[in-house]
Amino acid sequence: MKWKIAEAKKYFSEVVRNARDEPQMIYNREKIVGVIINPSDYEKFQEFREKASRDSLASAFSVLRDICEEENYRIEPSERKNRTVDW
């Protein structure tokens, strides 16, 4: 549901109660400034944020580089071969 800031202040208890069923969006001059959600949705969001922050491709390569260094392992690229293009 959409609320203007003044309405949200006036009916704060109702806004919080309604958040159990659906997110309550708060607007100021037609621009969204906040959302009140239920606790389980918030926990899911926090889990998503934590997972997203630690599971980047860059961090995976960083871990791989560390493992290679610890194991004294070196990846040798194969020799480049030119291929013909038939068009």
pLDDT tens-digit profile, the chain (87 residues): 999 999 999 999 999 999 999 999 999 999 999 999 999 999 999 998 888 777 778 888 888 889 998 998 887 888 888 888 888
Q: What's the CA gap between 13 and 81, in Å, rounded?
A: 70
Q: Given this model, what pLDDT does residue 38 score? A: 95
Is CATH 3.40.1620.10 correct for 2-37? yes
| Phi, psi angles (nearest 5°) of residue 82 | -80, 135
Q: Given this model, what pLDDT does residue 84 score? A: 86
Q: Given this model, what pLDDT does residue 53 score? A: 74
Q: Given this model, what pLDDT does residue 8 score? A: 96
Q: Given this model, what pLDDT does residue 74 score? A: 82
For the chain, the structural domain boundaries read 2-37, 40-70
Specify whether the CB–CB gap between 36 and 46 falls below 8 A: no
Specify whether the CB–CB gap between 15 and 34 falls below 8 A: no
Q: Given this model, what pLDDT does residue 85 score? A: 84
- The answer to whether the Cα torsion of 57, 58, 63, 67 is positive or negative is positive
